Amino acid sequence: MQPTALNGSVALVTAASRGIGRAIALDLATNGADVALGVRDTESATELAAEISAMGRRVTVVAMDVTDLPSCRRAVDDVIADLGTIDVLVNNAGGGIVEDALDVTEEHFDSVWALTTKSTFFVSQHVARHMRTAGGGSIVNVASQAGLVALPGESVYCLSKAAVIHLTKCLAVEWGQYGIRVNAVAPTFIETDGTAPALSDAAFRTDTVERIAALHRIGQPEEVAAAVTFLAGEGASLVTGTALPIDGGWTAR
């Protein structure tokens, strides 16, 4: 196998079984990383694990519900025990609700915050303790353009992703002294199972394509994955504390 950007690295990807997470895991493996797949249901990652193994990469699957922090810490420890280290962490897990801000309940608010923001903080914290001892590493948070602009009906999701973007800056500043880089990507609407219901509405899709102001098309998971791999690797060795929009020009408008 030819040397690649991440050859010999070990990467942990949360919510890795489908959509953007799956694309990230595959791209990291293609670029030389051994990969740990953090998923709620380990059976959901069987096919993906086989695909990565067929590339000649080591792969492990760990049960990881990011809203259950004790299980997350155990999963991280299991990855280190199995693969020896974690050089790259990709916090991909997240989600939101579509609901008018006047109707959001405390329960809905807390569920989005726990899934998207609290998990990113505490999973990063646990992995970073290992990275500090190991001499460094790279953390990439999957934020969203929703953290950069206002999306009607998605106030809680926008808030949670804005918090992830600012958290990225805070952790980059604190942890740079340990050789840990922390960055984020902020994708626009991407063609996945999760966005399919909304994008299947013709009027919504047309409006979305129009708002993607420069390229006027919906993104693909592989386009997000390529950016994550860049930020994770040595090609971005002087990049930290940044949130890279993968948005076709939406936020440039």
Q: Which of 61, 157, 184, 231 is catalytic?
A: 157
The candidate with the shortest Cα–Cα distance to 125, out of 96, 86, 82, 95, is 86
Has 157 been annotated as catalytic?
Answer: yes
In the DSSP assignment, the letter for residue 190 is B
For tokens 């590493």, the residue is 137
251 burial type by CB count under 10 A (0-12 exposed, 13-18 middle, 19+ buried) = middle
For 51-79, what is the mean pLDDT? 97
β partners of residue 98: none
Asked whether the beta carbons of 122 and 167 are under 8 A apart, the reply is no
The fold adopted by the segment(s) 10-190+219-247 is Rossmann fold (3.40.50)
3-state secondary structure 138-157: EEEEECCHHHCCCCCCCHHH
Q: Report the mean per-residue pLDDT for the chain.
A: 95
**Which one-letter amino acid corresponds to residue 114?**
A
Q: Does residue 93 come out as left (phi exceeding 0), alpha (psi in the -120 to 50 range) or beta?
A: beta
Least confident of 70-74, 146-150, 194-198: 194-198
140: Cα separation from own chain's centroid: 6
In the beta sheet, which residues pair with residue 191? none
pLDDT in tens, 57-70: 999 999 999 999 99
Q: Tell me the per-residue pLDDT of 110-149, one tens digit each, with 9 for 90 and over.
A: 999 999 999 999 999 999 999 999 999 999 999 999 999 9
Model confidence, pTM: 0.95
